[in-house]
Amino acid sequence: MAQRTTEIIVGLFMIAGCAALLFLALQVSGLSPKSAESTYTIYANFNDTGGLTPRGRVSMAGVTVGTIESISLNKETFQARVEMSIHSDVDNIPSDSSAVIRTSGLLGEQYIDISIGAEMDSLKEGDTFYSTQSAMNLERLISNFASGR
């Protein structure tokens, strides 16, 4: 086969590979082209984070507005402290909003849903949610129900 033809075919092959990688990046893993998006960090304390994991999503009204950065234990209050980064264009979360841990579907991942409050002030970098609602623990729910409390 002529050298030129081989070159072209191999070139197409490599391009196909790059295109496939690009597809995996954009369409499959949802990596947005403006990757260096600016965010601000807020915190929330939970009694029980259940199966919440870092990299989980934070949403408002079902729209993803940020991600969970880390989950650590506060040794004084024995509560879980969740650090999350919120897209900076969502800068008007009312300061009395509460963070709720929910599950998507029966088997889906757990995520933090922000239910909107009514205050005019909004949460700033480094602020902490005033009220939170921990993960719904099915087991505890059943045992509570059984013991009649």
Partner 1 sequence: MIERIAAFGRLGLDIVSSFGRSGRFLAGVLGGVPRPATGFPLLLKQLYAVGVLSLAIIVVSGLFIGMVLGLQGYTILSDYGSEAAIGQMIALTLVRELGPVVTALLFAGRAGSALTAEIGLMKATEQLSSMEMMGVDPLRRVIAPRLWAGFIAMPVLAVIFSVVGIWGGMLVGVDWLGVFEGSFWGNMQSSVDFVDDVLNGVIKSIVFGFVCAWIAVYQGYDCVPTSAGISSATTKTVVYSSLAVLGLDFVLTAVMFGDF
Contact residues for partner 1, defined by CB under 8 A:
1, 3, 6-7, 9-10, 13-14, 16-17, 20-21, 23-25, 27-31, 53, 55, 57, 64, 105-109
For the bound state, the minimum distance from the C-beta of residue 128 to partner 1, rounded and expressed in Å, comes to: 25
Residue 55's Cβ-side half-sphere holds a number of Cα atoms within 13 Å equal to 2
**Rounded to an integer, what distance in angstroms lies between the CA atom of residue 43 and that of residue 40?**
10
Nearer to partner 1 (CB atom), residue 65 or residue 123: 65
82: nearest Cα among 41, 43, 54: 43
Nearer to partner 1 (CB atom), residue 57 or residue 87: 57
Nearer to partner 1 (CB atom), residue 45 or residue 66: 66
